[in-house]
Every structure is written in C-alpha cells, then in structure tokens.
Amino acid sequence: MIKYALKRIALGVTIMLGSTVLIYALLLAAPGGPEQKYALNPKYTAAQKEGYLKSLGLDQPVPVQYCRWLGACRRDAEGLDALVGPTGFPSFLPSSISGVYTGIIHGELGYSYFNGESVADLIAAAALPTLILAGLSIVIWLTLAVIVGVYTGVKSGGRLDNSVTTVTYVLSTFPTFLLGFMLMFLFAIVLDLTPVDGMVNGRESPAFGSDLYWQYFSVSPVTALLDLAAHLVLPVMTLVIVSFSGDSRYVRASVIDALSMEHVRTARAKGLARSRVLMRHALRTALVPFATNIGLALPFLFGGALITESIFSWPGVGRLTLQATNNLDYPVLMSILLIGSVMVVIGNLVADMLYAILDPRVRL
C-alpha cells in the first residue's frame, strides 16, 4: 500500500509538472498582461512599461520565466548561470545547499502582480473562509444525500420517492448561479430574512480575518458567530442544493442495486433483523463507492466554489481565483492552481485508499 501510494504520488507529480507547463504557456499566450492596469493612463510611457515588465521579470523568454517560477533558475542571474546557485550547487537543490530561496520548489510563491502582496498571505487569508463555507456545505450535503438517497432507495417506487426523485432530478440540472440568484432574491430581498452577501456585517464588524476582527470576536463571540451564521445561510444553501441532488440520486441508485443483490437476499434468508439487513448488508456495500467521495472533497475544501463565492461575495479562494484571472495575476493564479492540483492528487489517493480499507476485495 505504501509502495502504491509512492507510485501514485510520483505519477501525480509528473502530471502536475506537465500541467503547470501547459498552464504557464496558456497564461502567457493570453494577450495583455499585468501592465494592462495602466493602459488607460495617458501619462504611462513605453519606457515606464518596459521597466515595469522588467521588474516583474516578464521581459525574459517564457521558458526562463517558467524556470524562475519553478525555482530551478535564480532570479538574479541570466542565461545558464541562473541554473547554478550562489554556493555553486545547482539551483533546484534545497535552499540550504544551493543558496537559492526563490521559486515554488523552495517554498516561495512570489508576489501578486496586482497589489504586490505576498501570494502566500493572500491564499492563507482566503483559505479559512473557504474552509468554513465548503466544510459546512460538504457535511450537510453528504449527510442529506445519504439520508434522502437511502430513504428513497429503500422505498423506491413509492409516492414520496417519486416526488423527491423528480425534484432532485430537476434541481440537479440547475446552474449554480441561477439557483444562487433565486435564493438571494427570495430570502434576502423579498423575505428579507438573511444578509444579501459578504461574510460579516460590515457596519458592525471588522473585515473577517483581520486582527481587529479577532479582537471583536474575542469580545463578543456570540454576536460574531451569529453574524457569521446568518451570512453562511444562503451560500451554504446554494451549494447544498446544487450538489446534494446529484449525490442523493447516486445513493438511491446504489441502494436499489444493493437491495437486489444476492447477498442481501441471503441476509434476509438468515432471518436477520431488518436494521441489520439494511445497514450491515445492503448499505455497507452500497455506500463504499460513495464514502470515497470524502477523498474527492479535498480539492473542493481548498479551491472552494467559484460561482457561489462570487455570487455571495465570499472572501474565499474561489473568489481570489476569479479576481486573479480577471487581473492576469500570474503568481496568484499559478499558486492556486498548483496547490489545487496537489489536492486533487492527494484527494484521489485518499479516495483509493479509503476504498481499499472499506472493501477487502480491493488490493492496492
């Protein structure tokens, strides 16, 4: 199993390297660049523009830029010299040996082109809001999916099953933003039950995550939590409705399949209690593939939900991604995508291992 995991990680790293090359190429092929933000300024001269690009290293050829971003090239040297660090060892070796501290492989994510902030700080600030929103949504939607899926699966063909299945079928075709808008319109505008968007009530609370906020939080934790909860309602509801309907249909189908399996008939023939037939024999096998979803949820916990976060102005990683894309803020984008794909690789690995643990027939 360890050997398998190592093999998978090696393959994952290869694929990730390949995809960063492709992403980098795409980004740079995209017309316009960070200098665009000055494009409308009439006083901005060509020389200024050149200097700006040079300061960001964007005057270099694309392979060099990629190499620098990766950390296999130094930023303070040109040509082949860049491959060797100040200590004389190759640049890609650990910082303590090579003396090179820049680039992804040395743990340095760079600075935003847009506002000069450290990418690591930007991502760290966005990670907590995303974790809160995504984590809460996942817990609710998986729980709901299992409950509704199992119930409708066991009572399949009944009147309740028919109506629930129809509703989830229609809901699963809804585009997220449409649903988000409808919920916002209904609950925040028409009924005025919830805040429209944001993470905290701006008039009373400092911005989430700031030092002031934590002071405010320690002074009146109940108010702060209630405020947060009120702002969570709509985005969580949107994510849960959109995601749970597909999953509950999946669980329903697995349960129906499992109930017609021969070993479930055996369990009935053995005269076991109804609950044991259902839980131990039918659901145990039906839910194994679904349980592995927990591994697949990992990338979501980090990357968040782009659409939902931007509809409800949730200051998370999803919204950060969108802003970075809009601003062609390469360092931020590249780091998010890289961390995201690491999560995908780890998530898939976790899913496979969970499968192997839950189903003794699977051997890795």
Partner 1 sequence: MSAKAKGATLAAAPKLSASESPWAQARRRFFAGRQGPWGLRILGFIVLFVIVGPFISPYDRFSVPTPSEFVFLGRPPSFEHIFGETAQLQLDVFMLTVNGGRGSLLIGFISAIGGITIGTLVGIISGYFGGKLDGFLMRLVDVFLAIPSLFVIIVGARIISELGGTGLMTVIIVFVAFGWMGTARLVRGQVLALREMEFIEAARALGVSPVRIALRHVLPNAIGPVVVSFPFAVGGAIIGEAFISYLGFGVSPLSPTWGNMLSNSQQFFLQGNWWWVGFPGLFIVLTALSVNMIGDALRESLEPEGRRS
Partner 2 sequence: MSKGGAPLLSVRDLAISFRTHRGTIKVVDGVSFDLAAGECLAVVGESGSGKTVSAMAIISLLSRKQAIIEGSVKFTGRELVGLSEDDLRPIRGGGIGVIFQEPLSALNPVTTIGEQIAEVIVAHRKLSWKEAHKLAIGYLEQVEISQPDQRAKQYPHQLSGGMRQRAMIAMALSGEPSMIIADEPTTALDVTIQAQVLDLLRRTTTERGAALLLITHDLGVVAETADRVAVMYAGQIVETGKAANVLREPASPYTRDLVTSVPSFAARGKKLSTITGMVPSPDAFPAGCRFAPRCRYAITACTTAVPPLEPLKDGRLVRCIRTKEVLNGTAAGRRKAPAAKKGAAR
Residues that bind partner 2 (CB under 8 A): 157, 261-263, 265-274, 276, 280-281, 284-285, 288, 358-361
CB of 38 to partner 1, least distance (A): 18
Mapped onto helix, strand or coil, the DSSP state of residue 352 is helix
289 contacts 188 by C-beta, under 8 angstroms: no
181 binds partner 1 (CB under 8 A): yes
Task: Please give the Cα distance from 312 to 134 (Å, whole number).
Answer: 13
Q: Which listed option, partner 2, partner 1, none, makes contact with residue 173 (CB within 5 to 8 Å by class)?
A: partner 1
Closer residue to partner 1 in complex, CB, 74/319: 319
CB of 158 to partner 2, least distance (A): 10
Q: Which listed option, partner 1, partner 2, none, makes contact with residue 44 (CB within 5 to 8 Å by class)?
A: none
Closer residue to partner 1 in complex, CB, 1/189: 189
154 contacts 259 by C-beta, under 8 angstroms: yes
CB neighbour burial string for 219-236, b if at least 16 within 10 angstroms, e if fewer: eeeeebeebbeebbbbbb
Give strand pairing partners of 90.
84
Closer residue to partner 2 in complex, CB, 160/225: 160
Task: Please give the Cα distance from 196 to 314 (Å, whole number).
Answer: 11
- The total of other beta-carbon atoms located within 10 Å of residue 200's CB is 21
Interface residue with partner 1 among 84, 140, 322, 357 (CB under 8 A) is 322
340 binds partner 1 (CB under 8 A): yes
In 193-273, alpha helices (H): 211-219, 221-259, 262-269
40 binds partner 1 (CB under 8 A): no
Q: Which listed option, partner 2, partner 1, none, makes contact with residue 273 (CB within 5 to 8 Å by class)?
A: partner 2
- Return the range that interacts with partner 1 (CB under 8 A); candidates 27-35, 55-63, 125-133, 285-293: 27-35
310 binds partner 1 (CB under 8 A): yes
- Return the range that interacts with partner 1 (CB under 8 A); candidates 86-94, 208-216, 277-285, 336-344: 336-344
Residues written for the chain: 364
Task: Give residues 53-92 in contact with partner 1 (rule: CB under 8 A).
Answer: none
Task: Please give the Cα distance from 267 to 275 (Å, whole number).
Answer: 11
Task: Please give the Cα distance from 143 to 151 (Å, whole number).
Answer: 12
CB of 250 to partner 1, least distance (A): 10
